[in-house]
Amino acid sequence: MSRLLAIDYGRKRCGIAVTDPLKICANGLTTVRTCDLMQFLKDYCARESVEKIIVGLPKQLNGADSESARYIEPFLKHLRREMPEMPIDRYDERFTSTLAHRAMLDGGLRRMARRDKELVDTIAAAIILNDYLSATQ
């Protein structure tokens, strides 16, 4: 049994989420500094069986790639070079940060906890992965 791993890519930090081995549900795993992301992925994939990596694709409302999409392309090239055997999918991440904030509100987190950008990134990665699971099943 292997997992799916999702990345909510950011210029400073990246939220990471993974599925359970049966690929039924996604859970936020952690937040990693962007400069440490490649090493984290290599280490995690060496410890756990990962079937595929899903990277959030930032889009505008009209469906075009957003301005921040240009920062993801160099990372994807590096990822493909460093882990050529790993399948990579991109998945629309529109509104995931907004949905993460909403989930934090609905979950009753206090204001200071809701300001934790690392937590927002981790929840956003879990939302990307849950949406991906729903779309592919």
| pLDDT at 39 (0 to 100) | 97
Range of 86's domain?
Answer: 3-136
In angstroms, the CA 113 to CA 120 distance is 10
In angstroms, the CA 28 to CA 129 distance is 9
Contact 19, 63 (CB under 8 A): no
Q: Can you list the pairs that 25-34 forms with residues at least 24 positions away whose Cβ atoms lie under 8 Å?
A: 25/130, 25/133, 26/126, 26/129, 26/130, 26/133, 27/126, 28/122, 28/123, 28/125, 28/126, 29/5, 29/122, 29/125, 30/122, 31/118, 31/119, 31/121, 31/122, 34/9, 34/10, 34/75
| pLDDT at 66 (0 to 100) | 67
Furthest-apart CA atoms within the chain: distance in Å: 43
Residue by residue, pLDDT tens for the chain (137 residues) are 799 999 999 889 999 999 999 999 999 999 999 999 999 999 999 999 999 999 988 766 676 666 777 788 899 999 999 999 999 999 887 656 666 556 655 566 565 554 557 777 888 899 899 889 988 87
Say what the pTM is.
0.83
- 33: domain CATH number is 3.30.420.140
As for how many domains the chain has, the answer is 1
Q: Collapse the DSSP code of 27 into the 3-class scheme (helix H, G, I; strand E, B; otherwise coil) and give the result.
A: strand
| pLDDT at 80 (0 to 100) | 96
| pLDDT at 114 (0 to 100) | 47
In angstroms, the CA 26 to CA 132 distance is 10
